[in-house]
Chains A and B, each alone.
Chain A
Amino acid sequence: MEEAKSILLKLKKETNCSLSIEELEILSNKLGRAPSKLEIYVFDTVWSEHCSYKSSRIFLKIFSNHKNPDVWVGIGEDAGIIKLGVVNNKEWGLVVGHESHNHPSQVVPYEGAATGIGGIVRDVYCMGADVIGVLDSLRFGDISEQSLEIINGVVDGIAGYANPLGIANLGGDTFLHPDYNDNCLVNVVALGIVEKDRIIHSYVPKESTVEPYVLILVGKATDSSGFGGASFASVVLDNEEAQKGAVQVPDPFLKRILTIANRACFDLIFIEKINAGFKDLGAGGILGASSEICGKGGKGADIYLDNIELAEKNLPPEVILTAETQERYIWAVPERHAQKLLNIYNKDYELGRMYEGACARTIGKVRNDDKYIVIHEGKEVLNLPVSILTEGITLNRQVTSRREKVCKPKRKQLDIAKALEMILNSPNIESKRVLFEGYDQEVGGRAVLRPGEADAGVIRPFPDSRIGIAVAIDGNPFYGIENPYLAGALAALESIHNVAATGALPIAITDCLNFGNPEDPVVLYDFSESIRGIKDTCEEIGYKFNKHVPLPVISGNVSFYNQSKQGNSIPPSPIVACYGILDDFNNAVSMGFKNPESSIILIGERYEELGGSIFRELYYGCSWGEIPIPRWRQERKILCNLHKFIKKKQILSAHDISKGGLLLAALEMAFTGKLGLEIDTSKIKSEMGLDVILFSESSGFLLEVDKRNTSSIINSFEELDIFAGVIGKVIDEERLLLYNNEQVLLDTKLKQKRINWEKGWKKYIC
């Protein structure tokens, strides 16, 4: 035994792999012998946290029990697909993928963020879809020289990839917090649309049993970039310089050509009724994609490394197999049709002329047995059952509940003007308009409500239909620090609120779960709690607000090891995107005030829930305390009733109350509409002080409503036992008048405040 162990130790050292000795022992047992060096490289990739979800798998199971016929593709393929509706007599679905590219963005921000976009759009494209939008959720450290470099690199990287590719930016959110100093987060979402009949799955179709199938690799010539990328994402960031080689190199120009060439291939296989499998190359490169596309179809493969176009000479087999060279896809198609696809890429779209070494080539065959065989320089270098490559590994790690922090601040005298000034000057509150102007929000011509115009981005995906899609992404790190369960629940709930505020019905969510080191039992406990929170929100709110059908989670990603060598972990950061559907995009509600003299209605009582609030963080310098809790029964009633009145076209504008609380929500509506407002705090239901009324982030909505409609709306909410009341009105000049009965609390001009807020991020972007 000891001898076997010492062999493994030696191999581990020689290959510098990140698998533990225990994992290498599991591997030896499975193989019935010591692994070869190549096998260690292979399993270092497929058993990485990134590829195998080995620590998270047992927790993620709770998402898999959702049975919903409108979910066409759930978790397990490159992207999830949910039914949208019928357009021109054809059924269409929404395709979504959600990923993180955190480590790479910390090390080389531009390339890291750009390949993040590159990877997620590939996941959606390869389902046969057209990608129509991206979102980004970003978390950075406090403003410093280092964080500004990362911020600028990430923002430019997102723009530098999505703009040339021609994908519109539909929104996102950005938070700064010192706990992200060593680990920024770059979470990205891509949305696409696909006809149901034209969905292409990421596995070899069953027809491969009756006729020979081949594997075609398309795209950039394979190089060594991104070698070790999957395992790099699965360890604590250590030596940043040394890890730069594990980051991939983006090329949106080549991707654009591949995209239109793919479209021609999709047409071909649809018209000629060819059954095919298609998959993007992401983590694990050729190895990951070829073993999965075959293995998930119950097949094996012969892979000929000598047929692969290489950008560098003499690459060893482990590099060819697992490097994560960008801009590549793999097809599994019947041999008799292969030449037609090769011609589309190589002749019609001249891949080789566009980019040195880019091409489509046949690189292997689909086998009818379970063997995955790799041939290099004419010799068999790998021969394994495909199942051992694809089934991954599951670890049962320890979980320990966290210790609660206690630092109760003394109550301070409230100076509203001062508090407001602090909040408005916070980079977490200032408008992100400057960032959005660097992204193409218009390309595709689908934009209806852009980032900043409403709580969610709204697009019109089909020129021949009035269907609208609303999408928002959320997650509050201040809540993560206080309570991981509530952070998960509230991230999901806020994304739902944002979508609902436009009038859309939520149809699905996706999540990205960003955490520290899962080998730390407390981190893993936080992780499990956040998942439970997301699940509870989905079940309580329901698919299209139907309480009997949970809102499905159709895609997601886990990112662990967001922890520096010094042990500084990020706050538990569950980030959730919600997708909603509108019957008519033209009825979508935005957030800016529209008409002077219309009423401002508050929906939802204010509670003593200042914990994790921006107010407490800035005014007290400590965010400890009770954070908002979801009041499920009320929540569904509020959302359904709001939806009813938006459909009746009685809501002029709507905004959910979240970070910053009620006063900031009202100001954002005023700033966006370039109007002013009066608010009477005596009209707000709360047993608490003014700080709670104005700044508590308890969930709720502010609505702008025409005077003649106010009473019917308020009565309707009151009948449901929900607090609703007129708390003020919109005024024509840019001014805030805050009073309590007769007593003026604050009277201030807003124009300059608005300009400062709009341009706030200019000082950070160079």
Chain B
Amino acid sequence: MLNKLPVFVVIFPGTNCEIETALAVEAVGLEARLFRWNENPKQLKKAGGIILPGGFSYQDRIRAGAVAAKEEIMESVSRLSEKGVPVLGICNGAQILLETGLVPGLKPGKIDLALGRNKMAGRSRYICRWIFMKVNHKNKSPFLNNIKRSDYFPLPIAHAEGKFTGKNKKTLKEIKDKELIAFRYGSNDVNEEDNNPNGSWENCSGLTNKNGNILAMMPHPERAIWFYQIPLNITRIMKNESKDIRKEDLSLLPGPGFNIMSGFKNF
């Protein structure tokens, strides 16, 4: 069904990753449509999937994602997601999903988690870097079906507020027990800084709702659709990859983001 309907990429004021996100949708063989925040929300019914892309919606006023979460369009997104439409929030999109409570969505309308300011050794600021992460194989979200379960894979992060955090220990335990964590930062290399770049709870880099049709993730899959997009120092430490991989034609070899985007096809 989804294969026939376009994935809507929502633009909020301040969104800045809409173009490459739409290209990433098309790269996996789906149709993409850009959708402005104040267009008629009824149009969203034609969406086979929805992406809230990265950026700085409403200038991160109050908290990142907080203002966009209150936009009328998010009510439509919420209703559609209840009907099973897959929703992916990337970076600022993830922040919006947490601010609406759609993720983890333990109780409707309740905000259980936040994405707080990065906490790192020495200094805590915006950071753009490639990190490694691994899928939580106990999370059964269809978004994760196409990702190799055993290996760490690289994606870039670029955020100042990416630390999954919550106050209520019971809630945190529930999220963990229900296996809503989709991805965890980590790598085979024991370098603590790189393993958890922002101080996130449970090394969490992505989280779903209970139904598994809403995924909020801080790393950017749309920037890693093709293998050539991975920096050389990262490909070198990936397992099973040749060292002079640059010499081959990599322009058509899928990268780690491809398998996340193609997750839309599993719904």
Residues of A within 8 A of B (CB): 159, 163-166, 252-253, 256-257, 260, 348-350, 354, 436-450, 453, 460, 463, 466, 585-586, 590, 592, 594-595, 649, 652, 672-674, 762, 765-766
Contact A592 B233 (CB under 8 A): yes
Give the top 10 A-B pairs by smallest Cβ distance, nearest first: A166-B16, A445-B20, A253-B59, A164-B56, A442-B223, A442-B156, A440-B158, A445-B223, A440-B128, A257-B13
Question: Known: A354-B13, A649-B247. Is A253-B125 also a contact (CB below 8 A)?
Answer: no
Check B102 for interface membership: any CB of A closer than 8 A: no
Contact B55 A166 (CB under 8 A): yes
> Which residues of chain A are near B233, meaning CB under 8 Å?
453, 592, 672, 674
Check B24 for interface membership: any CB of A closer than 8 A: yes
Residue of B nearest to A433 (CB): B129
> Which residues of chain A are near B243, meaning CB under 8 Å?
594-595
Kindly state the separation between the CA atoms of A165 and B16 in the bound complex, as whole angstroms.
Answer: 7
> Which residues of chain B are near A466, meaning CB under 8 Å?
251
> Which residues of chain A are near B19, meaning CB under 8 Å?
444
Contact A257 B231 (CB under 8 A): no
Kindly state the separation between the CA atoms of A731 and B217 in the bound complex, as whole angstroms.
Answer: 40
Residue of B nearest to A165 (CB): B16
Contact B128 A441 (CB under 8 A): yes
Least CB distance from B158 to A in Å reads 5
Contact A447 B229 (CB under 8 A): yes
Among B156-176, those with CB < 8 Å from A are 156, 158
Known: A350-B38, A445-B229. 9 other contacts (CB 8 A): A253-B13, A256-B55, A260-B11, A354-B13, A442-B128, A443-B17, A585-B228, A586-B249, A766-B123
Kindly state the separation between the CA atoms of A586 and B253 in the bound complex, as whole angstroms.
Answer: 12
Least CB distance from B13 to A in Å reads 5
Residue of A nearest to B225 (CB): A445
Least CB distance from B70 to A in Å reads 13
Chain B contributes a number of interface residues (CB within 8 A of A) equal to 43
Contact A445 B24 (CB under 8 A): yes
Question: Known: A256-B16, A260-B11, A445-B223. Is A590-B229 also a contact (CB below 8 A)?
Answer: no
Least CB distance from A155 to B in Å reads 10
> Which residues of chain B are near A592, meaning CB under 8 Å?
232-233
Among B1-57, those with CB < 8 Å from A are 11, 13-17, 19-20, 23-24, 36, 38, 54-56
Interface centre among B56, B228, B246, B251 (most CB of A within 10 A): B246
Contact B225 A453 (CB under 8 A): no
Residue of A nearest to B36 (CB): A348
Check B222 for interface membership: any CB of A closer than 8 A: yes
> Which residues of chain A are near B228, meaning CB under 8 Å?
448, 460, 585-586
Least CB distance from A387 to B in Å reads 41
Residues of B within 8 A of A (CB): 11, 13-17, 19-20, 23-24, 36, 38, 54-56, 58-59, 122-123, 125-129, 156, 158, 220, 222-223, 225, 228-229, 231-233, 236, 243-244, 246-247, 249-251
> Which residues of chain B are near A450, meaning CB under 8 Å?
231
Kindly state the separation between the CA atoms of A445 and B125 in the bound complex, as whole angstroms.
Answer: 22
Least CB distance from A211 to B in Å reads 32
Q: Is the interface of A mostly helix, strand, loop or mixed?
A: loop
Contact B244 A594 (CB under 8 A): yes
> Which residues of chain A are near B122, meaning CB under 8 Å?
762
Least CB distance from A283 to B in Å reads 26
Interface centre among B36, B54, B231 (most CB of A within 10 A): B231
> Which residues of chain B are near A163, meaning CB under 8 Å?
56, 126, 158
Contact A586 B250 (CB under 8 A): yes
> Which residues of chain A are near B58, meaning CB under 8 Å?
253
Kindly state the separation between the CA atoms of A469 and B150 in the bound complex, as whole angstroms.
Answer: 37
Least CB distance from B236 to A in Å reads 7
Tell which of B20, B244, B250 touches A652, judged by Cβ atoms closer than 8 Å: B244
Kindly state the separation between the CA atoms of A159 and B128 in the bound complex, as whole angstroms.
Answer: 11
> Which residues of chain A are near B223, meaning CB under 8 Å?
442-443, 445, 447
Residue of A nearest to B122 (CB): A762
> Which residues of chain B are near A453, meaning CB under 8 Å?
231-233
> Which residues of chain B are near A765, meaning CB under 8 Å?
123
Contact A159 B126 (CB under 8 A): yes
Residue of B nearest to A350 (CB): B38
17 residue pairs from A and B, CB less than 8 Å apart: A159-B126, A164-B59, A253-B56, A256-B15, A256-B55, A256-B56, A437-B129, A438-B126, A439-B128, A443-B17, A443-B20, A450-B231, A453-B231, A585-B251, A586-B228, A594-B246, A762-B122
Interface centre among B15, B59, B122 (most CB of A within 10 A): B59
Question: Known: A350-B38, A652-B244. Is A438-B128 also a contact (CB below 8 A)?
Answer: yes
Residue of A nearest to B130 (CB): A442
> Which residues of chain A are near B125, meaning CB under 8 Å?
438
> Which residues of chain B are near A585, meaning CB under 8 Å?
228, 251
Least CB distance from B116 to A in Å reads 18
Residue of A nearest to B250 (CB): A586
Residue of B nearest to A167 (CB): B16
Kindly state the separation between the CA atoms of A225 and B58 in the bound complex, as whole angstroms.
Answer: 23
Residue of B nearest to A441 (CB): B128
Kindly state the separation between the CA atoms of A439 and B123 in the bound complex, as whole angstroms.
Answer: 15
Least CB distance from B21 to A in Å reads 9
> Which residues of chain B are near A445, meaning CB under 8 Å?
20, 23-24, 222-223, 225, 229
Residue of A nearest to B220 (CB): A442
Question: Known: A256-B14, A260-B11. Is A437-B127 also a contact (CB below 8 A)?
Answer: yes
Tell which of A350, A586, A673, A766 touches B251, judged by Cβ atoms closer than 8 Å: A586
Contact A443 B231 (CB under 8 A): no
> Which residues of chain A are near B250, meaning CB under 8 Å?
586
Kindly state the separation between the CA atoms of A595 and B228 in the bound complex, as whole angstroms.
Answer: 19
Tell which of B59, B128, B225, B247 touches A437, judged by Cβ atoms closer than 8 Å: B128
> Which residues of chain A are near B59, meaning CB under 8 Å?
164, 253
> Which residues of chain B are near A652, meaning CB under 8 Å?
244
Tell which of B13, B17, B225, B247 touches A166, judged by Cβ atoms closer than 8 Å: B17
> Which residues of chain A are near B128, meaning CB under 8 Å?
436-442
Kindly state the separation between the CA atoms of A460 and B128 in the bound complex, as whole angstroms.
Answer: 19
Contact B236 A674 (CB under 8 A): yes
Kindly state the separation between the CA atoms of A590 and B58 in the bound complex, as whole angstroms.
Answer: 38
> Which residues of chain B are near A252, meaning CB under 8 Å?
56
Kindly state the separation between the CA atoms of A694 and B11 in the bound complex, as whole angstroms.
Answer: 54
Kindly state the separation between the CA atoms of A354 and B58 in the bound complex, as whole angstroms.
Answer: 8
> Which residues of chain B are near A448, meaning CB under 8 Å?
228-229
Contact B246 A442 (CB under 8 A): no
Tell which of A256, A446, A594, A595 touches B13, judged by Cβ atoms closer than 8 Å: A256
Interface centre among B11, B16, B36, B54 (most CB of A within 10 A): B16
Residue of A nearest to B252 (CB): A586
Tell which of B14, B126, B246 touches A253, judged by Cβ atoms closer than 8 Å: B14
> Which residues of chain A are near B225, meaning CB under 8 Å?
445
> Which residues of chain A are near B56, meaning CB under 8 Å?
163-164, 252-253, 256
Kindly state the separation between the CA atoms of A46 and B19 in the bound complex, as whole angstroms.
Answer: 39
Tell which of B123, B158, B232 touches A443, judged by Cβ atoms closer than 8 Å: B158
Kindly state the separation between the CA atoms of A210 and B100 in the bound complex, as whole angstroms.
Answer: 55
Residue of B nearest to A763 (CB): B122
Least CB distance from B3 to A in Å reads 21
Kindly state the separation between the CA atoms of A54 and B57 in the bound complex, as whole angstroms.
Answer: 43
Residue of A nearest to B60 (CB): A164
Least CB distance from B128 to A in Å reads 5
Least CB distance from A453 to B in Å reads 6
Kindly state the separation between the CA atoms of A615 and B51 in the bound complex, as whole angstroms.
Answer: 53
Kindly state the separation between the CA atoms of A652 and B242 in the bound complex, as whole angstroms.
Answer: 14
Kindly state the separation between the CA atoms of A459 and B173 in the bound complex, as whole angstroms.
Answer: 44
Kindly state the separation between the CA atoms of A287 and B8 in the bound complex, as whole angstroms.
Answer: 43
Kindly state the separation between the CA atoms of A466 and B56 in the bound complex, as whole angstroms.
Answer: 30
Kindly state the separation between the CA atoms of A137 and B178 in the bound complex, as whole angstroms.
Answer: 50
Residue of B nearest to A450 (CB): B231
> Which residues of chain A are near B127, meaning CB under 8 Å?
437-438
Kindly state the separation between the CA atoms of A260 and B34 in the bound complex, as whole angstroms.
Answer: 12
Kindly state the separation between the CA atoms of A765 and B156 in the bound complex, as whole angstroms.
Answer: 22
Kindly state the separation between the CA atoms of A592 and B231 in the bound complex, as whole angstroms.
Answer: 11
Least CB distance from B186 to A in Å reads 19
Kindly state the separation between the CA atoms of A349 and B12 in the bound complex, as whole angstroms.
Answer: 10
Question: Known: A164-B14, A447-B229. Is A595-B156 also a contact (CB below 8 A)?
Answer: no
